[in-house]
Chains A and B, each alone.
Chain A
Amino acid sequence: MGVERELFETFFRQHHLAACRFACALVGGAEAEDAVQEAFVRLHLRQRRLPAVENPEAFFYRILYNVCRTLLRRRRVRAALAGWLGRPEPPRPGAGLELSQAWRILSPRERAIFYLMDFRGWDMAAVAAALGMRPATVRVHRHRLRSKIVNWEAES
């Protein structure tokens, strides 16, 4: 138990900041820390499996990516409900780096692929393992997101 805890804490200290930035890229600054904390809690509950996991970083980023998608889904539902009730959604507390317009045109999956490959330098296999898809699918999404960005630049 002690070894697992120590391993978990080492992993936390190594990846905390990078995970916050990744979550910020997906959900924005206001909810990034919530997402990271939730992902680390889920990892903590599975920490016995951590030594046996082949790529702990990809394992953790898969959890974080799923948490971010859940947050985005909840946000969409909240916005739809607020629109349906005719009440504007209250502003979320917490200042942070908000998503730029260019970043908003990408889907969460494309944001994750773009961020991990182009800014973190992950290779396609690692991104595929982290996001739970095949490398060929990653390649297709990357191609699509580049087209989107080129189109957006041409329009603006």
Chain B
Amino acid sequence: MNDPFGAFAPATPPDAMLAAVHREAGRRRRRRRSVLAGLACLAVAAVALWWFRPAPAPPSTGGAVLVHAVTHGDQEVPYTLLTLPDGMTMVVVRTAP
């Protein structure tokens, strides 16, 4: 049978269409690469932010404790700071009997 569409002749010359195909394919390839690069950058940034995240804040102690020295009579004595389970801090002083 004869091709009923055999009379159809494209208006665009083949060489012009081939050039357009190359151009369009290159453009799409570049766009695809840039999208992939953008996604990779986002992933790297997310990992970096997670890796270098700030350390968690220490639990609150219920009030500031500032001890410079503990005196017993007219002498300075050593002391130990002891954190209690309820967050309070106790100063433990060992003195001579």
Interface residues of A (CB under 8 A from B): 9, 12-13, 16-17, 20-22, 24-25, 29, 32-33, 36-37, 40-41, 44-45, 94, 96-97, 100, 103, 115, 118-120
* Min CB–CB distance A121 → chain B (angstroms): 9
Within B1-20, the residues touching A (CB, 8 Å) are: 1-8, 10-12, 14, 17-18, 20
B1 touches A118 (CB 8 A): yes
B18 touches A32 (CB 8 A): no
Chain A minimum-CB-distance residue to B24: A41
User: Chain B 19-30, CB within 8 Å of chain A: the 1/0 string?
Assistant: 011101100110
- Pick 22 A–B contacts, CB within 8 A, sort by A: A12-B18, A13-B18, A16-B10, A16-B17, A21-B3, A21-B5, A24-B5, A25-B4, A32-B8, A33-B10, A36-B17, A37-B17, A37-B20, A40-B17, A40-B18, A45-B25, A96-B8, A96-B11, A97-B7, A118-B1, A119-B1, A119-B2
A97 touches B8 (CB 8 A): yes
Interface size in chain B (residues, C-beta < 8 A) = 21
Given A20-B10, A44-B22, CB of A33 within 8 Å of CB of B4: no
B5 touches A44 (CB 8 A): no
* Min CB–CB distance A69 → chain B (angstroms): 18
Interface residues of B (CB under 8 A from A): 1-8, 10-12, 14, 17-18, 20-22, 24-25, 28-29
Q: Please indicate the chain A residues that have their CB under 8 angstroms from the CB of B29 in the complex.
A: 45
- Bound together, the chains give a CA A69 to CA B97 distance in angstroms of 99
Q: Other CB < 8 Å A-B pairs besides A16-B17, A41-B21, A97-B5, 16 of them?
A: A12-B14, A12-B18, A13-B18, A16-B14, A32-B8, A32-B10, A37-B17, A37-B21, A37-B24, A40-B18, A44-B25, A45-B25, A45-B29, A100-B4, A118-B1, A119-B2
Q: Please indicate the chain B residues that have their CB under 8 angstroms from the CB of A119 in the complex.
A: 1-5
B8 touches A41 (CB 8 A): no
Chain B minimum-CB-distance residue to A47: B25
B8 touches A24 (CB 8 A): yes
Q: Please indicate the chain A residues that have their CB under 8 angstroms from the CB of B14 in the complex.
A: 12-13, 16-17
B6 touches A21 (CB 8 A): yes
- Bound together, the chains give a CA A33 to CA B11 distance in angstroms of 8
* Min CB–CB distance B70 → chain A (angstroms): 78
